[in-house]
Chains A and B, each alone.
Chain A
């Protein structure tokens, strides 16, 4: 740990600190060819260059000094910052529902990480209460950190661990479960949990935030309040994602875990239900269903946990002139399932046919979804579709490509019998395939149109 006093510095930067005996968190006067600078030396982010020393000047701002310009340094004091969300014991209130918050990482609560210069998650009921005291009037919250990974690093093992942890909590009698999760693959996890945790008597709400909680305009606090309300008080006992409805701080949506997708890289209202309407809107006052039918909350504890997953499954996103070797290499590498995101109604070019045939013959499960996201695969409309089916491709109706990927992994995790896999795939567990698409399921407005502009002016985005 001796190196810690030069946290993050390397090369020339480290040399100069050592030369003048100045530590990170040391208050220092630094003379340079550009004049004199006073402040506290801060840790340097690992990925930044070795040519600069970072310091916090007395007005609170950070600056960097070019090592090559430094002619002298003198440490005059030392004060290490203690970045900690104030921790307060989460109060217990008689009569409020018991909600379990399961942590996986992600940005519900976070603090600064000097290693990367980015934010890292912080998490405990005490910290959460310190940051979002309103939670105490919604539910009695307990937390458990199952693991800490960023959303993009979530993998099947994590899904299984989560499913098992959820099963235990339900048996232990909680009134609802909230899962804090990074947003990038939130919808993959939501789909996985829908398949792995079936017949839940309580709500299972996945929540994240698009703006980290270290910023005043973060959506984390409101999302968390909405999620706890849905988990503790809501009547919908399904796996759901709870995120902002509009980008305004007004209300959230509860999306069905199998019909939801992240649709914008940075918007707060990034999650949208595809091909259907959201389940409900949610405010701190409560939940208002949009869908008429859903699984209701029950008193029993009968839940089925099915933690299976075959990892050798892939999604192939078709593009014009895709070469057959893409499919061949998957088969050669032992893949057992392939989801194709095809064009239009579910098509790929003729070049691919032999490769698909080879895959089917090798016993690989091949399913077709659409990269248009909205709408059904319709493989009878054109010859291409019929040819593909003849070669062994199974149309996956209106299952979203990511959901189909998760479901195929889950199905192949249970059986290698392709007929059984097909039965599992085409029997919806919770609307991953719907028998009909409501006319208001597909909505992408185009800005600039007078009616749309009028709508945007009157209704908060």
Chain B
């Protein structure tokens, strides 16, 4: 069988034909054309002492290899309250995973491993969640019902997450529009994965059971930047209450994306909001590509139900390959099974994501569902073929393919081959329908891989171990009293104060607005100076240095108050900051000494100007109009810092 297709060329051609453009050159028109639609599920851990349903400490972490005991579980699908099995549940059951939990006695009790029923819900977490629901303008429920949400991947040893709705139907304002919120729920966090190889998945249970809120938006975002903006807003809202945890892993979001004619696909566990634009852009185009594949296939087959792949077991000794694909199969006792996919020529190498083609969709599912480690497959449309065309010719004699067919070879343990074949057939059949509903795992480069079948509402079940919790009006009113000012109002105030926009994210991310406001009011300092001091200077030192002790932002308040009390100009604060940040316990007077500050009067400084003017005249080379001004500023700046404002110095120079 001759190969009549150049995979690289086909990839580029299909990429062009679906109209893929880089995000940098994409506009709202691009997204309108493909019907970009996106919604968010933003998770934020709550700042509580203990976990949600037991009395283990929250926020104590273990290293992957550090554990005191291991427990093994297998998960089985069960019926939902409405009497149905969930699709994900059945997929996970097919994978036959052995789940190992690594327990550390400090952070895990018998509740986490599901050997004890839940203790009453953590009230501190409940009040935090209600407060954040109130600032998110949600309708608060009258009674909190704990629901079990099934997760068969093993990330929770019970096989379900205990979760409860606190509020529904809210709204958040973005720059140009409002985004509607579906709900906010209080839930227990899941385990952290250690590894997932073959049929064994290992988790650690330190994070398991920590209280978390999930804010869910409607799919109101119509371009990638809006998704990021909405995500930041929701996170800042939570942080503005001071009741959420910050730091690595404390916040994650699931991003839902679809294109026109596509399906809701959920990109799970995105750790940074800055990854969102690329991820949503690429996912939307991946769906657009799958629709193109659907159209090609439906043109080739009038009756997709009649479509059927064929397969044959290969003799591992009869073939050769690059990179040990065949040789390693021989050494490790793996089977090689060739599959013919009728009418799939040009489909396997069809563009789906930058650097990925349709064949990757098959490879990823083989890994996840059939549990076959990579490389688990090779095919006739690899841009860098593993097998020579002569070998494919030999396989063609066995499979007797038609002109428009494509072939692939699965490599895996014998016991997984049946599931592997089913998986290939199932995914190919889905290609006739378009975009399968999935959850996908994200990568920093903006691409994603298959993670699970998307679960539906069919995985909900009332938690028969917990009683409902009524929420009285008085309780909610009391919690409403200590509400922070709205984030959007703070946005506007920062703008009015002329704080540059590039400072905003840092200020809201670290919930610094209340502190800035306090400094402005109590120390009577210029808001623009204070805003920039945090948004530029503090942000910069955090990226440059490591503090020797815990650095609390309140130290900045103390620093500025010290300068004011000692009648020093606040401009010196920038020079002091690196030292203050690195040695939070050092006295400010010592910091001044260590950076070489000397008291000089304003008059003394200004009196040096005529001398410097003369000096410059002797040595100056260039003739620009600002040269003199800038040079003298440069000469006097360090002496002036702390002793006079830069503005006054400019004026003294005749600016």
Q: Which residues of A are interface residues toward B (Cβ below 8 A)?
A: 32, 34-37, 48-49, 51-54, 56-67, 69, 81-86, 111-112, 117-119, 211-218, 221-222, 247-250, 264, 266-268, 447, 453, 456-457, 460-461
Kindly state the separation between the CA atoms of A54 and B142 in the bound complex, as whole angstroms: 9
Instruction: Say whether B23 faces chain A, with CB atoms less than 8 Å apart.
Output: no
The size class of the interface chain B forms with chain A is 35 or more
Instruction: Say whether B163 faces chain A, with CB atoms less than 8 Å apart.
Output: yes
Task: Name B552-610 residues within 8 Å CB distance of A.
Answer: none
Task: Name B450-479 residues within 8 Å CB distance of A.
Answer: 456-462, 464, 467-468, 470-471, 473
Kindly state the separation between the CA atoms of A221 and B183 in the bound complex, as whole angstroms: 35
- Select A216's contact among B158, B168, B462, B467, beta carbons within 8 Å: B158
Q: Flag the segment in B68-76, B311-319, B412-420 that touches A.
A: B68-76
Instruction: Say whether B185 faces chain A, with CB atoms less than 8 Å apart.
Output: yes
Kindly state the separation between the CA atoms of A80 and B85 in the bound complex, as whole angstroms: 17
- Convert B294-334 into 0s and 1s, putting 1 for each residue whose CB lies closer than 8 angstroms to a CB of A: 00000000000000000000000000000000000000000
26 A-B pairs within 8 Å (CB atoms) are namely A32-B139, A34-B142, A35-B138, A36-B139, A37-B168, A54-B468, A56-B460, A57-B168, A59-B165, A63-B141, A63-B168, A66-B143, A69-B473, A83-B82, A83-B83, A111-B79, A117-B462, A214-B461, A216-B75, A216-B152, A222-B74, A247-B115, A249-B74, A264-B115, A267-B116, A457-B70
Q: Which residues of B are interface residues toward A (Cβ below 8 A)?
A: 67-83, 85, 89, 105, 110, 113-117, 138-145, 147-152, 157-160, 163-165, 168-169, 182-183, 185, 216, 456-462, 464, 467-468, 470-471, 473
Choose among A57, A216, A217 the residue with the greatest number of B CB atoms under 10 Å from its CB: A216
B163's nearest neighbour on chain A, judged by CB, is A61
B150's nearest neighbour on chain A, judged by CB, is A216
Q: Is A52 touching B75 in the complex (CB atoms < 8 A)? A: no
B77's nearest neighbour on chain A, judged by CB, is A216
Complex interface: chain B residues within 8 A of A453 (CB): 68
Q: Is A216 touching B78 in the complex (CB atoms < 8 A)? A: yes
B143's nearest neighbour on chain A, judged by CB, is A64
A218's nearest neighbour on chain B, judged by CB, is B76
Q: Is A36 touching B169 in the complex (CB atoms < 8 A)? A: yes
Known contacts A216-B76, A267-B110, A457-B67; A34/B461 CB under 8 A: no
Known contacts A60-B457, A112-B462; A217/B114 CB under 8 A: yes
What is the distance, in angstroms, from B277's C-beta to the closest C-beta of chain A?
26
A79's nearest neighbour on chain B, judged by CB, is B82
5 closest A-B pairs (Cβ-Cβ)? A64-B143, A216-B159, A35-B139, A66-B142, A60-B457
Kindly state the separation between the CA atoms of A37 and B82 in the bound complex, as whole angstroms: 20
What is the distance, in angstroms, from A33's C-beta to the closest C-beta of chain B?
8
Kindly state the separation between the CA atoms of A248 and B157 in the bound complex, as whole angstroms: 11
A51's nearest neighbour on chain B, judged by CB, is B470
Kindly state the separation between the CA atoms of A200 and B520 in the bound complex, as whole angstroms: 88
Kindly state the separation between the CA atoms of A337 and B79 in the bound complex, as whole angstroms: 47
Kindly state the separation between the CA atoms of A380 and B18 in the bound complex, as whole angstroms: 94
Kindly state the separation between the CA atoms of A51 and B151 in the bound complex, as whole angstroms: 32
Kindly state the separation between the CA atoms of A266 and B74 in the bound complex, as whole angstroms: 18
Choose among B113, B143, B150 the residue with the greatest number of A CB atoms under 10 Å from its CB: B143
Q: Is B457 touching A58 in the complex (CB atoms < 8 A)? A: yes
A82's nearest neighbour on chain B, judged by CB, is B83
B102's nearest neighbour on chain A, judged by CB, is A457
Q: Is B143 touching A60 in the complex (CB atoms < 8 A)? A: no
Q: Is B82 touching A59 in the complex (CB atoms < 8 A)? A: no
Contact residues of A: prevailing secondary structure: loop
Kindly state the separation between the CA atoms of A266 and B465 in the bound complex, as whole angstroms: 12
Known contacts A248-B71, A267-B110; A59/B457 CB under 8 A: yes
Kindly state the separation between the CA atoms of A268 and B207 in the bound complex, as whole angstroms: 23
Complex interface: chain B residues within 8 A of A266 (CB): 110, 115-117
- Select A60's contact among B89, B144, B157, B460, beta carbons within 8 Å: B460
Complex interface: chain B residues within 8 A of A217 (CB): 73, 75, 114, 157-159
Kindly state the separation between the CA atoms of A83 and B69 in the bound complex, as whole angstroms: 38
Known contacts A64-B142, A218-B78; A249/B115 CB under 8 A: no
Known contacts A61-B163, A217-B158, A248-B72; A34/B140 CB under 8 A: yes
Kindly state the separation between the CA atoms of A47 and B69 in the bound complex, as whole angstroms: 40
Complex interface: chain A residues within 8 A of B169 (CB): 35-37
Kindly state the separation between the CA atoms of A62 and B473 in the bound complex, as whole angstroms: 20
Complex interface: chain A residues within 8 A of B85 (CB): 86
Complex interface: chain B residues within 8 A of A32 (CB): 139, 142
What is the distance, in angstroms, from A48's C-beta to the closest C-beta of chain B?
6
What is the distance, in angstroms, from B79's C-beta to the closest C-beta of chain A?
6
Kindly state the separation between the CA atoms of A222 and B113 in the bound complex, as whole angstroms: 17
Known contacts A83-B82, A216-B89, A217-B157; A63/B145 CB under 8 A: yes
Q: Is A52 touching B470 in the complex (CB atoms < 8 A)? A: yes
What is the distance, in angstroms, from A262's C-beta to the closest C-beta of chain B?
14
B468's nearest neighbour on chain A, judged by CB, is A64
Complex interface: chain A residues within 8 A of B460 (CB): 56, 60-62
What is the distance, in angstroms, from B490's C-beta to the closest C-beta of chain A?
25
What is the distance, in angstroms, from A246's C-beta to the closest C-beta of chain B?
8
A211's nearest neighbour on chain B, judged by CB, is B114
Kindly state the separation between the CA atoms of A211 and B79 in the bound complex, as whole angstroms: 15
Kindly state the separation between the CA atoms of A268 and B74 in the bound complex, as whole angstroms: 14
What is the distance, in angstroms, from A12's C-beta to the closest C-beta of chain B?
12
Beyond known contacts A82-B82, A217-B157, A266-B110: 19 more, CB 8 A cutoff: A54-B145, A59-B183, A61-B185, A62-B145, A63-B142, A63-B145, A84-B83, A112-B461, A212-B464, A216-B77, A216-B160, A218-B78, A248-B70, A248-B73, A249-B73, A264-B115, A457-B67, A457-B68, A461-B71
Q: Is B69 touching A457 in the complex (CB atoms < 8 A)? A: yes
A49's nearest neighbour on chain B, judged by CB, is B470
Kindly state the separation between the CA atoms of A69 and B73 in the bound complex, as whole angstroms: 44
Complex interface: chain A residues within 8 A of B105 (CB): 447
What is the distance, in angstroms, from B552's C-beta to the closest C-beta of chain A?
37
Complex interface: chain B residues within 8 A of A67 (CB): 142
Complex interface: chain B residues within 8 A of A248 (CB): 70-73
Q: Is A81 touching B82 in the complex (CB atoms < 8 A)? A: yes
Q: Is B168 touching A83 in the complex (CB atoms < 8 A)? A: no
Q: Is A65 touching B464 in the complex (CB atoms < 8 A)? A: no
- Select A52's contact among B142, B160, B183, beta carbons within 8 Å: B142
- Select B83's contact among A81, A211, A216, A447, beta carbons within 8 Å: A81
Complex interface: chain B residues within 8 A of A81 (CB): 81-83
What is the distance, in angstroms, from A29's C-beta to the closest C-beta of chain B?
12
Kindly state the separation between the CA atoms of A66 and B168 in the bound complex, as whole angstroms: 15
Choose among B79, B169, B460, B473 the residue with the greatest number of A CB atoms under 10 Å from its CB: B79
Q: Is A267 touching B115 in the complex (CB atoms < 8 A)? A: yes
B157's nearest neighbour on chain A, judged by CB, is A217
Complex interface: chain B residues within 8 A of A456 (CB): 68-69
Complex interface: chain B residues within 8 A of A65 (CB): 141-143
Q: Is A221 touching B72 in the complex (CB atoms < 8 A)? A: no
Complex interface: chain A residues within 8 A of B74 (CB): 222, 249
Kindly state the separation between the CA atoms of A247 and B144 in the bound complex, as whole angstroms: 31
Choose among B81, B163, B473 the residue with the greatest number of A CB atoms under 10 Å from its CB: B81
- Select B467's contact among A37, A48, A66, A447, beta carbons within 8 Å: A48
- Select A461's contact among B69, B147, B168, beta carbons within 8 Å: B69
Kindly state the separation between the CA atoms of A170 and B329 in the bound complex, as whole angstroms: 52
Complex interface: chain B residues within 8 A of A118 (CB): 464
Q: Is A57 touching B470 in the complex (CB atoms < 8 A)? A: no
Complex interface: chain A residues within 8 A of B158 (CB): 211, 215-217
What is the distance, in angstroms, from A211's C-beta to the closest C-beta of chain B?
7
Complex interface: chain B residues within 8 A of A49 (CB): 470
Q: Is B78 touching A213 in the complex (CB atoms < 8 A)? A: yes
Complex interface: chain A residues within 8 A of B163 (CB): 61
- Select B143's contact among A52, A215, A247, beta carbons within 8 Å: A52
B467's nearest neighbour on chain A, judged by CB, is A48
Kindly state the separation between the CA atoms of A247 and B71 in the bound complex, as whole angstroms: 7
B152's nearest neighbour on chain A, judged by CB, is A216
Choose among B457, B461, B462 the residue with the greatest number of A CB atoms under 10 Å from its CB: B462
What is the distance, in angstroms, from A62's C-beta to the closest C-beta of chain B?
4
What is the distance, in angstroms, from B214's C-beta to the closest C-beta of chain A?
11
What is the distance, in angstroms, from A224's C-beta to the closest C-beta of chain B?
11
